[in-house]
Chains A and B, each alone.
Chain A
Amino acid sequence: MARNITYREAINEALAQEMERDPTVIVMGEDNAGGEGSPGEMDAWGGVLGVTKGLYHKFPGRVLDTPISESAFIGAAIGAATAGLRPVAELMFVDFMGVCFDQIYNQAAKFRYMFGGKAVTPVVIRTMYGAGLRAAAQHSQCLYPLFTHVPGLKVVLPSTPYDAKGLMTQAIRDNDPVIFFEHKALYDMSGPVPEESYALPFGEANVVREGGDVTIVALGRMVHTSLDAAGQLAAQGVECEVVDLRTTSPLDEDTVLESVEGTGRLVVVDESHPRCNIATDISALVARKAFGALQAPIEMVTAPHTPVPFSNALEDLYIPDAQRVVNAVKTVSGWTR
């Protein structure tokens, strides 16, 4: 039965159902239960924004709070994955990747290749990303391009509760290291989610809106921004096709290319910084493989080349909004040589 639950609840449900099904799944992270060693209650938080709430009591011994030692516990999750467990470790904010990135990109990502195919590292690292909560420069970044760049990692960014549950289920069942990006501004988003377990495959983009005039490729929260823009544009007679990438590694190139073959015009909407991001990656892909279909240069809508500002006035200017997407679509629709 598909009932409406939030993005947060959908992730929690995926974790709970997989932990029920598979005793090797464990969860760890800072305050993932909350209260360890403290005089009050255990499971005080269930994660800083409540995503892992309830799991501590439901699965005794399998939800571990950690000290603030990312390199140690992210590395431990990775080591435990090589030794027969399926850990889901939380890197609380992706902005903290700096203190543990070696374990992710030099160890987990490379074991299988460096060891000649003999290692299996089924670890999931969940992490929060994205701006919009006025959390400022060190708690609001996207950074998924850095992980996408690394061979050996898989990078997943659900945009809806339905996708969040299905992709988390797949991430846990997957035998490769998966970095699972949760947009903090989407946790309260509600949507239909089946009660039963299901897994969505990686490398499958989702055409969330069909249209013949312009292709908008987006990911994460920007999918919703793009749908807003598409609604406004439809009223003006421009029909946009919105493609939600869902996973940047592996990437569903075919769906992007097919869409552009149909529309001839592309706008890519990516909340991350403009240099070497997913927008540039998609733009290069399309320019190389669908050049003949393009009727206009590609437009990218991204954050500016700045850290994320604090003041609401500035952060609202920083985050790409529907108006900017509308403007970009109009630019490509109206373009003539």
Chain B
Amino acid sequence: MTDTVERKALTREHLLDAYRMMRTIREFEERVHAEFATGEIPGFVHLYAGEEASAVGVCSNLDDRDTIASTHRGHGHCIARGVDVGEMMAEIYGRKTGSCHGKGGSMHIADLSKGMLGANGIVGGGPPLICGTALAAKIKGTGGVSVAFFGDGGSNQGTTLESMNLASVWNLPAIFVAENNGYAETTSSTWSVASDNIADRAAGFGMPGVIVDGFDFFAVHEAASEAIARAREGGGPTLIEMKFTRYFGHFEGDQQTYRAGEVEHARAELDCLRRFADRVTETGELSRADLDAVDAEVAALIDRAVDEAKTAPLPTEADLLTDVYVRY
């Protein structure tokens, strides 16, 4: 684990933004968890609660030259990249006002204008795409970087391994973020990953590998900042492994009989939001009142998002056939 004591000083604004992002993700996911249980949300949702520090710690280092690709557990990455929360909620509810006009759903939320190449329903679907966006940035000379988020399950997918090799061989400005939350569905990562750590594979692909406490925003921010700087300067890709846990099941509806109490422990002792709040109030960078104000705003934002999503129009038959091609 990285030592989290030393960190770069972040401005008050940065800290507030980071807290706001993480709080928004947490409240969004907790609310979707509650609403899903009513049966109103169609399809599958895969919740990111618990992992907020990873998405926000990485994405708070990015700018509009950069692109990320995510997984089926994509709400956190979308929010961290600034995708509109109201549109996201509407998308999850299958509404025409959703990010994808109701045609993608939870697993396919994307906003290319925000450098978010989508949540992805295919495990390992993102890394090859990110090699592509990184290649484009390199050829166009924008200085942009691309980040592929994938899970411990995705770390074993051939596409991920090929992409890491390709990114090294082509010296691409890419960052591979393995979010090891301990489980690929019900299967433990300690069993499915042959090496002790996912990060151990990095050397095999000619890139640095870093292990980070995924509950520690500041540790994530630090590691990501270094990897991003390396990529921007033409130093090639990095593999970052976050170690943490997810608070909910693989999907909503998962009874989680394969787990044994680690969620309760994490929520009580390791939670990224509580640790962040403790740290910044202790150093005096932010006050409890600052944080409470953000909490209240976020709560209102989520309420509004849900209310609007529930009453928004559904897409119609006319929408069924549109946007398959630019021009057929």
Contacts and interface: CB of A to CB of B under 8 A. Distances in A.
B100 A76 contact: no
Interface stretch (B128-136, B181-189, B218-226): B128-136
Interface string A85-121: 1010000000000010011001100111111111110
B326 interface: yes
Contact of A71 (B117, B136, B139, B158): B158
B136 to A, nearest CB: 4
Contacts of B108: 110, 114-115
A176 interface: yes
A78 B112 contact: no
Interface in A7-57: 26
Contacts of B135: 76, 79-80, 85
B98 A84 contact: no
Nearest to A152: B324
Contacts of B131: 72-73, 75-76, 79
Contacts of B323: 112-113, 116-117
A108 to B, nearest CB: 9
A81 interface: yes
A175 interface: yes
B317 to A, nearest CB: 15
A116 B104 contact: yes
A296 interface: no
A119 B116 CA distance: 11
A79 B112 contact: no
A250 B118 CA distance: 27
Contacts of B132: 75-83, 87
Contacts of B128: 71-76, 78-79, 103
B310 interface: no
B170 A84 contact: no
B112 A119 contact: yes
A80 B169 contact: no
A72 B322 contact: no
Nearest to A203: B328
Given A79-B132, A80-B135, A82-B117, A114 B100 contact: yes
Contact of B162 (A72, A112, A117, A118): A72
B121 interface: yes
B136 A102 contact: no
B197 interface: no
Contact of A116 (B101, B129, B139, B169): B101
Interface string B314-328: 000000001111111
A83 B103 contact: no
Interface in A167-185: 174-176
Instruction: Point out which of B139, B166, B170 has the most chain A C-beta atoms below 10 A from its C-beta.
Output: B139
B133 A102 contact: no
A72 B136 contact: no
Nearest to A99: B158
Nearest to A117: B323
Contact of A112 (B69, B140, B159, B324): B324
Contacts of B163: 69, 72, 75-76
Contacts of A103: 125, 128-129, 159
A113 B103 contact: yes
A102 B125 contact: yes
B139 A26 contact: yes
A246 to B, nearest CB: 15
Which of A71, A72, A174 gathers the greatest number of chain B CB atoms within 10 Å? A72
B178 interface: no
A26 B132 CA distance: 12
B107 to A, nearest CB: 9
B133 A83 contact: yes
A151 B323 CA distance: 11
B111 interface: yes
Contacts of A307: none
A114 B118 contact: yes
A64 interface: yes
Interface in B182-224: none
B199 to A, nearest CB: 20
Contacts of B101: 116-117
A110 B135 CA distance: 21
A84 B136 contact: yes
B25 interface: no
A112 B122 contact: no
Contact of A176 (B125, B166, B326): B326
Given A83-B67, A116-B99, A71 B162 contact: yes
A84 B111 CA distance: 15
A67 interface: yes
A318 B132 CA distance: 40
A114 B326 contact: no
A334 to B, nearest CB: 39
Nearest to A84: B136
A67 B121 CA distance: 26
Interface string B294-323: 000000000000000000000000000011
Nearest to A122: B326
Contacts of A265: none
B328 A79 contact: no
Q: Which 3 A-B pairs have the closest CB atoms?
A: A75-B128, A79-B132, A79-B129
Given A79-B128, A116-B103, 20 more contacts: A71-B159, A72-B163, A78-B128, A80-B132, A82-B132, A82-B133, A85-B135, A102-B159, A106-B121, A106-B125, A111-B118, A114-B100, A114-B103, A116-B98, A118-B100, A118-B110, A118-B112, A119-B112, A175-B326, A250-B328
23 contacts: A64-B170, A75-B128, A75-B132, A75-B163, A77-B132, A78-B132, A79-B131, A79-B133, A79-B136, A79-B146, A80-B136, A82-B117, A82-B133, A85-B140, A110-B108, A113-B323, A114-B103, A114-B108, A115-B110, A152-B324, A175-B326, A176-B326, A176-B327
